[in-house]
Structure 1
Amino acid sequence: MDLKEDLILKDSFFKDNFSVDQCLSKYTQKSDLEALRKELKNYGTELQQQMSEILKTETEAIVNLAEYLTNLNSKIENLSVPICQLREEIRTLHDLIQSAENSYKKMLEDLKANNTKKNNIHLKLGITTTSLYIDKLITSESNSFDNVIILERVVNKYSFQRNYMDELGIMSTDTEGIVKDVENKLIEMVNKKFLDAFSSSNSEILTRCLRMYDNLKKQDEVQKTFQVNVVRPALLPLFNERNLEKSQQDINQIYEEVLIFMNTKMNVLFEILAQNPELKCFNFTLNSFWKEFDKQLREGLPYITAPGNPELFQKRYKSTWATLLKIANKCGDDELLQEDDTFQEHLKRFNLPVYFEIRYQQIAGGFENDILTNTDFYASNNEISCKLKNTLALWKGLKKCYDKDVYLDQLADQFLKLSMMLLSRYLRWFKTVLQEKSSFPDDEKWETFIMNSLIDLNILKNLVALNTEKIDDVEKTIFKIIHPNMKFIVLRVYKCNRNSVEEVQSNLKNHLTNIKFQESSMHLQNVGAIPRLYRRTNRSAPKSASTYMIEAVKPIINFHNKFKTVVQSDLNEIMDNVITRVTQQYLTLVQEVLMSVCKTEESLRRLKSRNVNSSEEASPQTDTMSDEMKIREQIKYDVAYFLEKLYNLGSPTSRATMDTLRKETS
């Protein structure tokens, strides 16, 4: 290892990040471990020599330092005693200072408490003196308070001291008695001023009186005074049975008089409260007028709800609701009818479940009776141009649900359910008729009934099952009476009704389709008899369609001609279904016959080829038509007649099936 590398190795031992593994890995790449061991041994010897040299040169200094430290230790021990004494003296001084501080604090607290008591005594003396002075003035010179300004100053002075004492909580029992007596006299005087000012509509004095009530924190007092002395005398003559008889049982007339009082007589108070936001703590409508209105209506007209008379009940409930809504609006909160307990309790006087039960029995019971008693199915001319009496009965029931003299917004969900129940019962009647069919002596009348039923169901869809997502479309139906906030539910009712009606329509169409299919299918089975008519019978070649084909097509043609001007859309669907099914069956039968003919023809050909003799070979060939050809020709005539009569009556779907039939016989 050269000198440079030796220095680098020695310096690496003194680095903070020295690692034995890294050092060995680095230097064993240039030399082996034995050489490195020798180098390290030499370096250790060198360090030992350097340490010996240092000890030789620094021994005296080290000895001197040891002696100095020994002397320093003894000096420190000598200083420990005076330092401990100083610590005790400082601790004693601290305790003295702490004791003095505590004494001073206690003295200051006592002084503060004495000053507070002194101030409280002065305050009590002040309010007592003021109260006694006011009491003396009231007793000796009551006319001195005729001036509302003087009265307001006295009230303000009194209320300031009284509120101050209340906040401090220093009111004693004896002082409270004096103060309370004076306060009652002041309130009595303010009440008199307030009532006089209200009777004369003096807004200035009323405003001052309201401020005095506010300063005295007697808002409830003035509202109670107004209720007893103003509202009660005005409402008491109105809410009684005699006045109701005079109004011909029309509660709305009484309500109108009550609202006139609220909107005219009390208007001066409303204007004052609107112009003075600091007086917002007063609400004469809610705390005076409404309380007396509720009380007088309950006591004076306890039987206003007329539970046994649904017509009168509905009329009075609507009038009461509208009046309460106007009162709530005057209170500044339209939600009071739903949130305020007193409004809710007042409305609970009207038993809505009982009312709906009566209406349910009238509407649903009447409709059920019509369904059970209608022996004649068909109705005369009517407003919705329906064909069946039960459809007309349903319409009358639905109209009754949403009649302005029956319907209530608060029972909207119940009336919606009732209307859906009526429709469901009506549709259930169709299913019952389909199962029985005993009321119709022949198929023609049965077909007529089904088609008329489809007409009525389409009418109902336009009345109670519109296919719309627009709330504005509800305004064109009987559901327009429902509150705007509930009309989105009507759209869901439409969808539910539409699904129910379309299900019954589908059942009726399928039933009628099966009838017409069976009528035609019975004749189409005769296509299998064609081979027997021509095979080995020497029958002449066919020139027209078979009788069975004419009879098979006739029910379909007659059905179309009978109802083509009545209900075009439903007729087209029924015709398409019938033609498709009949064509598919006829195609299957034709294919079976033609396959049988081919097999027979092939068998005969083979038989002839085995039994050929010379005489037959010598016989001349004839141009007569074979039996198989006659069979095919007859089928062509039949198919041509079938397509001629039905092709134009079918839809693209059924025409595709008929095209397949044509190709099969071409």
Structure 2
Amino acid sequence: TVRNALIQSTDISLAFDKTLDFIRTECKAMLYVVERINRECGSYFDFVVNSIFPELIQCLEQSSNILFFVGDPDIFHERYSYWLKFLEQLQTILSKISDENLKKSKIYIEFSSRWDLVVYYQIRFQEISNSIENIIVNKSYELNEEKNSLFKTLITLTIFQSIEHCWQKNIFLEPLSHRFWKLTLQCIVRFCVWIETFNIKTIDMKFLLNLYIDLQTFSNEVKKFFHNIILGQRLTSIISLSPNITIELTNILDETLFNLTDKCRQNLKNLIIRQLIDRCNETLHSIQEIPRMYRKTNREAPSKPSSSIITTFRHLQTFSNDYSGTILTEDECKEFQTIAMEEITKNYYELCSEILSSVRKMEDSIQRLRRVRESSKALSNMSQSMTTSSTAALTDDNKIRMQIQHDVNAYTSELKNLDIHIESSNKLTILNEESRLQI
């Protein structure tokens, strides 16, 4: 009989299929008779709810002692999915009143409560969150080696795959929709929080640039996945009951992704530019050695720019050669360089202004000393002789000015070669004028 087949079978789907088939065929006449008696006598007896369903539950419990075991989430998911499918198919057989009676019955409520969905979700949560944390701890700054992947960094790929896992058929369960939706948002937020902890000195620029590009790709792909899979396949029954939920979920997702593509992406951009600025400024700081090179050293007058100027622009050219047209578009690369050069030029102006100011102070001090000497009649002839000899030769201070002028001209020329236009270029003009006027 059906009961014996159910007891002997360990396949829960087979038990459900046999029960449905039994109701449709063997019980068809009985259901008709019961319905007629109920109608004629004014009574109500639900044959499926009161007789068949309790027998099914008893058979299921006798056939498997580990029916509700959640330790293996894959098996648990399979069995619970069969249970949901059975209820859905049973609903098409029952009348609306019978369906309501079934869901209010004690045996249905008790049996349903034995499926420990909370523990199942906790296991899935640990699986998904651990996969993200493992990458963050052990491989946080690694690039993705998969050639055909949409994502260039391993962390972006991992977080996107984690979101996909939340909604896979063999993981997702509709009664846990709200929990998996929350986990989806948590994955994105975890991504944001991780980026906010970046230390500029410990992260490779190439990784930062790839992650910068990945964030926009990630946002686009998550939105596609949201519309095609989450809304289009997993939440269809929920949406049919509450159409407005689509708008609400879309707004929440857009807001969460905006924080990633706007704030986090801008932070990455600032980090990249800061690295470029620091590299150039570190080289430019050698400009401070110019006074020491020419003061009281009898060094010849300068005829070419300092090596620090050439090296500084070599950093910019390397940035363009490595990343323009590969990771960044040409326009993006130019934008990064322009923003960096604005600050670098301001820093360069301050360094040179400080040197020129020091030179002026030194000359003023010497002039005051000469005036004191000239006021002494006993030393007037000697003072005149010193003045003549000093003006006849190129002074150390003038050599310093000449070097700065060569550097400023080279700096301006390199900017033109790279086709970089900056607002602070007027500061270079000021430096050029100051160094020329004092020679």
Q: Does TM-score exceed 0.5, indicating one fold?
A: yes
Q: Tell me if 1:240 matches 2:27.
A: no
Range that drifts further, 489-498 or 608-617? 608-617
Match among 30, 51, 57 for residue 292 of structure 1: 51
What is the CA-CA distance between 1:353 and the residue it aligns to?
Answer: 1.0
Tell me the distance in 1 between the aligned counterparts of 2:370 and 2:290: 24
Tell me the distance in 1 between the aligned counterparts of 2:349 and 2:26: 86
Distance 1:606 1:433, change over 3 A: closer
2:437 aligned residue? none
2:356 aligned residue? 594
Looking at both structures, which has the greater relative contact order when contacts are Cα pairs under 8 Å and sequence separation is at least 6? 2
What is the CA-CA distance between 1:621 and the residue it aligns to?
Answer: 13
2:325 aligned residue? 565
Tell me the distance in 1 between the aligned counterparts of 2:148 and 2:52: 46
CA displacement 1:287-331 (0-9 Å, x = unmatched)? 333343431221121245453442233233233324434544653
Verify the 8 A CA contact 1:328 1:335 in the aligned structure 2: yes
Tell me the distance in 1 between the aligned counterparts of 2:306 and 2:24: 90
Tell me the distance in 1 between the aligned counterparts of 2:387 and 2:420: 56
Which runs of no fewer than 5 residues in structure 1 stay unpaired?
Answer: 1-232, 438-442, 467-471
1:405 aligned residue? 170
Matches within 5 A, 1:315-394: 315-328=78-91, 330-332=94-96, 336=100, 340=104, 344-369=109-134, 374=139, 377-381=142-146, 384-394=149-159
Verify the 8 A CA contact 2:288 2:351 in the aligned structure 1: yes
RMSD, aligned CA: 4.8
Match among 283, 290, 303 for residue 530 of structure 1: 290
Match among 547, 556, 572 for residue 307 of structure 2: 547
Tell me the distance in 1 between the aligned counterparts of 2:25 and 2:334: 68
CA displacement 1:462-481 (0-9 Å, x = unmatched)? 333x5xxxxx8832466654
Say which SS state the counterpart of residue 292 (structure 1) adopts. helix
Q: Tell me if 1:657 matches 2:424.
A: yes
2:17 aligned residue? 253
What is the CA-CA distance between 1:451 and the residue it aligns to?
Answer: 3.0
1:637 aligned residue? 406
Range that drifts further, 656-665 or 503-512? 503-512
Say which SS state the counterpart of residue 645 (structure 1) adopts. helix
What is the CA-CA distance between 1:407 and the residue it aligns to?
Answer: 0.3
What is the CA-CA distance between 1:526 and the residue it aligns to?
Answer: 2.8
CA displacement 1:100-153 (0-9 Å, x = unmatched)? xxxxxxxxxxxxxxxxxxxxxxxxxxxxxxxxxxxxxxxxxxxxxxxxxxxxxx
Verify the 8 A CA contact 1:583 1:657 in the aligned structure 2: yes
Tell me the distance in 2 between the aligned counterparts of 1:265 and 1:649: 89
Q: Please tell me the residue identity of whatever aligns with 2:17.
A: Q
CA displacement 1:478-536 (0-9 Å, x = unmatched)? 66544143543354144225425755545544444443333322232233333444556
Aligned length: 409
Q: Please tell me the residue identity of whatever aligns with 1:587.
A: Y
Say which SS state the counterpart of residue 289 (structure 2) adopts. helix
Q: Please tell me the residue identity of whatever aligns with 2:404.
A: I
Verify the 8 A CA contact 2:200 2:271 in the aligned structure 1: no
Distance 1:620 1:423, change over 3 A: closer
Tell me the distance in 2 between the aligned counterparts of 1:315 and 1:400: 16
Say which SS state the counterpart of residue 423 (structure 2) adopts. helix
Tell me the distance in 2 between the aligned counterparts of 1:617 and 1:291: 123
2:377 aligned residue? none
1:417 aligned residue? 182
What is the CA-CA distance between 1:656 and the residue it aligns to?
Answer: 0.8
Distance 1:595 1:262, change over 3 A: farther
Distance 1:622 1:389, change over 3 A: closer
TM-score, length of structure 2 as denominator length: 0.71
1:475 aligned residue? 227
Distance 1:339 1:626, change over 3 A: farther
Distance 1:339 1:299, change over 3 A: closer
1:454 aligned residue? 212
CA displacement 1:203-262 (0-9 Å, x = unmatched)? xxxxxxxxxxxxxxxxxxxxxxxxxxxxxx9xx5497233x45x6854563365257459
Percent identity among equivalent residues?
Answer: 23
Q: Please tell me the residue identity of whatever aligns with 1:492.
A: I
Verify the 8 A CA contact 2:200 2:275 in the aligned structure 1: no
What is the CA-CA distance between 1:651 and the residue it aligns to?
Answer: 7.6
Tell me the distance in 1 between the aligned counterparts of 2:384 and 2:57: 124
Matches within 5 A, 1:299-318: 299-302=58-61, 303=64, 304-318=67-81
Q: Please tell me the residue identity of whatever aligns with 1:563.
A: Y
Tell me the distance in 2 between the aligned counterparts of 1:528 and 1:402: 60
Verify the 8 A CA contact 1:377 1:389 in the aligned structure 2: yes
Verify the 8 A CA contact 1:402 1:478 in the aligned structure 2: yes
Tell me the distance in 1 between the aligned counterparts of 2:101 and 2:352: 77
Tell me the distance in 1 between the aligned counterparts of 2:420 and 2:101: 60
2:242 aligned residue? none
TM-score, length of structure 1 as denominator length: 0.50
